[in-house]
Structure 1
Amino acid sequence: MKKAVLVARILLGFVFLFFGLNGILHFLPTPPMPPGDATTFATILMTHKYMSFVALCQVIGGLLLLVGRFVPLGLTILAPILVNILLFHFLLHPEGVVIGLVCTVLELFLLFAYRLSFRGLFDANPEKF
């Protein structure tokens, strides 16, 4: 189990670090988007620098997973990004959904492996100050 967690953590961390750095440094060519709503939506996000912020979050989350410190925080940062990746591909651009599904499986596996770190989120009556 420890080896599987390590492999999943490194794979997911590397994917988000690599694509997050690409979002900032633009070292990969951008594939053409199909005409329609997906292009309009992506253009708006890129024009207003929203995607730069998302790329920075990807780099931070990926680094936390790769380093192995604050892994639950890294998973928490990356979870909403994965939700948005899946929604974008399911609803607007279905061709690229495979990498999102693979990353989601890795994320869910790691969430299960680190479930004790998240148990306080599900307390019905949390401690008060």
Structure 2
Amino acid sequence: MKIVKTILCTLFGLMFINAGLDKFFHYMPMPELTPEMIKLYEAFGTLVWLMPLIAFIELLGGLLFIIPKTRALGAIVILPITIGIIIHNAVFMPEGLAIAGPFFLINLWIIVDNWPKYKPMFS
């Protein structure tokens, strides 16, 4: 089971590192955008600090998620991003839930697996 967790967490982390790097260097092709999504991206573009912040969080969270000692912190850091991805896909690209859903579940699995580390924050 440990090897499965290591492989999934490494892939999870690398996916977020890749997504963060793409926000800085724009090397992955953009999918065909609907007029509604074009409006959304234009709105995001007016907030010049938003995409670099998301990219930084994806990079940091992805790196932390890969390293077993920092995985619990990485899971919490990346959680708001995975929630945003789930909501975005549910509203704009339901076909993307096939990928976003398992990633969200991996994130939740690691949080549940590390729950004793978070418990002091709630007591």
TM range (shorter): 0.7 to 0.9
**SS of the counterpart of 2:33?**
coil
TM superposition shift of 1:47: 3.6
Runs of 4 or more, structure 1, over 6 Å off, are: none
Matched, 1:103 2:72: no
Cα deviation, residue 21, structure 1: 0.8
More helix by share: 2
What residue is the counterpart of 2:75 in the other structure? 75
Displacement of 1:7 in angstroms is 1.8
Contact 1:64-1:74 within 8 A present in 2 as well: yes
Question: Deviation string for 1:26-77 (max 9, x for gaps)?
Answer: 11111121112x3212221134231221011100110112233322211111
Task: Work out which of the two has the higher radius of gyration on C-alpha atoms and give 1 or 2.
Answer: 1
Deviation at 1:122, TM superposition (A): 3.1
Identical aligned residues as a percent: 24
Larger deviation: 3-12 or 54-63? 3-12
The one of the two structures with greater contact order (alpha-carbon pairs below 8 A, sep at least 6) is: 1
Instruction: Decide whether the 8 Å contact of 2:76 with 2:111 is kept in 1.
Output: no
What are the superposed Cα offsets for residues 94-118 of structure 1, whole Å, 9 maximum, x if unpaired? Answer: 2322221111111111112212111
* TM-score, with structure 1 as normaliser: 0.84
The answer for the alignment partner of 1:120 in structure 2 is 120
Unaligned stretches of 5+ residues in structure 1: 124-129
Question: How many pairs are equivalent?
Answer: 122
Partner of residue 23, structure 1? 23
